[in-house]
Chain A
Amino acid sequence: MKLLTHNMLTSHVKGVTKGYPLLIKATEVKVNQLDFNPQFVSRMIPKLEWGALVQAAGDLGYRQDLPGELVVDYEQNEEFLKKVHRVLLEVEVMEGSLKCPESGREFPITKGIPNMLLNEDEA
């Protein structure tokens, strides 16, 4: 699971209103090489929940001094974009779980795939 995906995932357990962001507990993390595309990164940033991304990156140990708030003119800052690229697309959680911040329900991650299926009573 890449952190870009994590940025979009939310808990949908019945009754939960604050199911975002999911807390990552990782037992295995991998870094995969993926071609850097600056346009992709700079256009993706406005679509992200920046705080959640930085938090998740930090939890995995890959914060790389990304700022807590977005800086101005990041589009031209290639070094910054490269760091964001790494954290969004190259760092992958292979084993672990995602935890709903409100209900505590854990969704397991196996071979990089989070299983978000709910049981009958939780839906």
Chain B
Amino acid sequence: MQNYNVIFRSISRFLHPAVQRSSSSLQTIIMSSDGDKQPAEETSESVNASSAPSPETELTVTIGATVPTGFEHTAAEEVKEKIGVDARVSRDRGRIYFPVSTDKLFQVHRLRSVDNLFVVVKEYDQYHFKESKEETLMELQELASKLPWTNALEVWRLNRTLKKKKGHRKGGHSTRAKPDSEVCDTAEQQQQEPAQEQSGDAPDTESQPPETAAEEKLVKFRVTCNRAGDKHSFSSNEAARDFGGAVQEFFQWKADMTKFDVEVLLNIHNEEMVVGIALTEESLHRRNISHFGPTTLRSTLCYGMLRLCKLQASDIILDPMCGTGAIPLEGAIEFNSSFYVAGDNNDMAVSRTLNNICHMQKRRAEKGSSPGLPVDTVQWDLCRLPVRTGSVDVIITDMPFGKRMGSRKKNWDLYPSCLREMARVCRPGSGKAVLLTQDKKCFSKAISRMGGLWKKLHTVWVNVGGLHAGVYLLKRTAGVFGQTPEDVHESPARVYKQTDEKEDD
């Protein structure tokens, strides 16, 4: 335990007073196992600072992000673009890791392709789990007190401040920092009592009125364990329980499964083990939608699909089966130099799409931005699109799965007709389509018969609500609709009569 004081003191010298203010609470946590008085004296000087940490005191930590499986590389691209660092895709699908310095922490919240964020406490590339369950669990327990918690907890705290500034916790409860001297006084008291967290910000809004904010507040935590691999002798529950118990011992936090402040993550994938602290409470994936439908897509998945097609300014994008409008809405917000037309035949879908768009516009107006979004909604039949031939640049849609909506039999008829209609409205040569479907067999068959119109460029395998699906990136060939091999053999009367018009000339 002596080590921790040494480490802490050396760190605190680097930390700018403003950061030290919150660090005093860190040291109370660490001091729970050690009654050493010294650190308290150091931090008592830090009382009055209030400015942001200066550059040389920045911490760099590794942030982990969970992303829709299959879209790890698109997410890494976004990280490079918005944060300027290279992200590493983990062997554990659906996770990426990248370094961030504390001054750039707020930027991680701007990422649109990530579902959840956490700060890494420690990563083990090749953790050698012991043979027996008892030994393994014992080792995990011992690990709790040896991990480098300091930086991660600092980031966790900083993140909470960011979230409060964003107005995440609305309502009358005080979010002003308590006077630092208070923090310092109680810090000295802490040495004998079980350490309690003294946050510079107000405690959870759900519990305390401002007066009691001054009282010591116990940190509540829980441990979430995800385990994958067939060689482990233990279950995720056992690991969470034992590791959690040791964490509780070490920090003297209180375990609470529902109303926790700190969520400790224990992710085990074969020999890879990562210990982290969650930075997001609710998954970010439902951010745009207020009116849900039966199959509303995660916004993070919508974003991934939109990124796949490398949209250009003034591209016209159609979602002919838009459901609640999740894809066009995400596009209109994130890739706003294009124009989106959302369409569906169903009354409820159209109505929900409209509501989601209006809701978003209202939110934007409230924040002072121009409310208008480059999106429109139309009610139409996707097999008979009332759209000019060759006028659309990109088609992005979530096709009926046959399990949650539609049926397998319906898909056999639906897929070919709608693929044809989509080919008709799509610009020959430059047009693209990004189509998500779980009915891969039906889709592949339909596409194989349309070589004259569509070419498969790339497929991303994803997981949507537990169903294994594919996102197909297609390119519209330069073939003129109505004159490609598949049309020459087919006989149904075409409303558009392109070839007839030519003959008239």
Contact = CB atoms under 8 A, between A and B. Distances in A.
B341 A11 contact: no
Interface residues of B, number: 34
Interface stretch (B59-67, B98-106, B195-203, B369-377): B369-377
B387 A9 contact: yes
Interface string A33-61: 11101011101100101000000000000
A49 B391 CA distance: 10
A35 B372 contact: yes
A97 to B, nearest CB: 13
Given A37-B313, A39-B314, A113 B384 contact: no
**Max count, chain A CB within 10 A of own CB: residue among B345, B378, B392:** B378
A41 to B, nearest CB: 8
Interface string B354-393: 1000000000000001111110111111001111100110
Nearest to B342: A113
Contacts of A114: 378-379
Contacts of B336: 35, 37
Contacts of B71: none
A8 B379 contact: no
B253 interface: no
A5 B378 contact: yes
A116 B372 contact: no
Interface in B403-445: none
Contact of A115 (B339, B370, B373, B379): B379
Contacts of B385: 12
B495 A14 contact: yes
Nearest to B357: A112
Interface in B169-185: none
B497 interface: yes
Contacts of B380: 116-117
A68 to B, nearest CB: 20
Interface in B122-152: none
Contacts of A26: none
Interface string A1-39: 110110011111011110010000000000011110101
Contacts of A33: 370-372
B391 A47 contact: yes
Interface of B is mostly: loop
A113 B370 CA distance: 21
A70 interface: no
Interface of A is mostly: loop
A4 B313 CA distance: 15
A82 interface: no
Nearest to B427: A47
B350 interface: yes
Interface residues of A, number: 38
Contact of B381 (A20, A47, A118): A118
B313 A2 contact: no
A16 to B, nearest CB: 7
B341 A117 contact: no
B337 interface: yes
Contact of A8 (B316, B373, B377, B384): B316
B350 A113 contact: yes
A9 B386 contact: yes
B379 A116 contact: yes
A47 B314 contact: yes
B501 interface: yes
A123 interface: yes
B495 A12 contact: yes
A39 B313 CA distance: 7
A89 interface: yes
Contacts of B386: 9-12, 107, 116
Given A10-B387, A117-B345, A34 B381 contact: no
Given A117-B345, A117-B381, A34 B370 contact: yes
Contacts of A9: 378, 386-388
A45 to B, nearest CB: 9
Given A12-B384, A16-B495, A123-B384, A112 B354 contact: yes
Given A113-B377, A115-B379, A118-B384, A40 B371 contact: no
Interface string B475-505: 0000000000000000000011100010000
A121 B496 CA distance: 17
B208 to A, nearest CB: 42
Given A10-B388, A89-B339, 6 more contacts: A12-B495, A39-B314, A40-B338, A43-B313, A49-B388, A116-B380
25 contacts: A1-B378, A2-B376, A8-B316, A8-B387, A8-B391, A11-B386, A12-B496, A15-B495, A17-B501, A33-B372, A34-B373, A35-B370, A37-B336, A39-B313, A44-B339, A89-B372, A89-B374, A107-B386, A112-B377, A113-B377, A114-B378, A114-B379, A116-B381, A117-B381, A118-B381
> Lowest 5 A-B CB distances belong to which pairs?
A34-B372, A43-B314, A116-B386, A5-B376, A33-B370
Interface of A: 1-2, 4-5, 8-12, 14-17, 20, 32-35, 37, 39-41, 43-44, 47, 49, 89-90, 107, 111-118, 123
Interface of B: 313-314, 316, 336-339, 341, 345, 350, 354, 369-374, 376-381, 384-388, 391-392, 495-497, 501
